[in-house]
């Protein structure tokens, strides 16, 4: 009877852990998904609009709806990038990320991606899956002159910067 109870408790705990992991995974890159989805929508709606205008088969209301959807997607995409730009601009000369949320780090990374796509892509390739906070740390590391500046921006101590560098270095994917 005790083994059965223990088995049930273990199954319930395992199920709760699985549910928590799945829920966490869904929330991880919400901003990135929004940017990707809106980019795809912009491309799709632009192609549909061009096709509709070329063929002249579709009616004007359908073309108007496509233009509205295209503008909405562009506005949503611009909002994320604008938020990231405002956040990044506040960091210099003496700003900090002390009050930033996870979504703020994601927006900042997406903004930097729009300016330096090769650098962000390089980090994602070299380090694999990582949080927006980690990506932002690596991006700021290339911008900051010294450890103290990076510590100020990230709102951590210089020794925490060294620790984070070490941990990220261990995560780096070694290519053969």
Q: pLDDT tens for residues 1-16? A: 778 888 888 889 999 9
Q: What is the pLDDT of residues 86-144, one digit of tens each?
A: 998 888 888 899 999 888 998 898 888 888 888 888 888 888 888 889 999 999 988 88
**Is it the case that residue 167 has pLDDT exceeding 60?**
yes
Q: State how far the Cα of 148 lies from the Cα of 38, in Å rounded to an integer.
A: 37
Highest mean pLDDT among 7-16, 20-29, 35-44, 68-77: 7-16
Residues 6+ away with beta carbon under 8 Å from 134: 127, 168
Cβ-defined contacts of 24-33 (< 8 Å, 24+): 28/131, 29/106, 29/132, 30/103, 30/106, 31/80, 31/103, 31/106, 31/107, 31/110, 31/132, 32/106, 32/109, 32/110
pLDDT class of 23 with cuts at 50, 70, 90: confident
Confirm if 148 and 114 have CB atoms less than 8 A apart.
no
Does position 30 have pLDDT exceeding 70, yes or no? no
């Amino acid at each position: 009877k005790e083994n059965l109870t223990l088995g049930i408790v273990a199954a319930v705990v395992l199920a709760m852990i699985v549910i928590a992991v799945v829920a966490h995974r869904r929330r991880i890159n919400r901003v990135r998904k929004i940017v990707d989805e809106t980019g795809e929508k912009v491309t799709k709606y632009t192609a549909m609009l061009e096709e509709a205008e070329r063929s002249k088969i579709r009616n004007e209301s359908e073309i108007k709806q496509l233009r509205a959807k295209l503008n909405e997607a562009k506005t949503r995409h611009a909002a994320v990038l604008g938020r990231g730009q405002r956040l990044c601009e506040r960091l210099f000369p003496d700003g900090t990320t002390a009050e930033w949320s996870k979504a703020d780090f994601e927006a900042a990374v997406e903004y930097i991606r729009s300016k330096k796509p090769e650098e962000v892509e390089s980090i994602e390739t070299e380090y694999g899956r990582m949080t927006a906070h980690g990506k932002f740390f690596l991006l700021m590391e290339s911008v900051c002159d010294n450890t103290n500046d990076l510590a100020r921006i990230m709102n951590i101590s210089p020794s925490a910067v060294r620790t984070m560098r070490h941990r990220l270095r261990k995560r780096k994917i070694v290519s053969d």
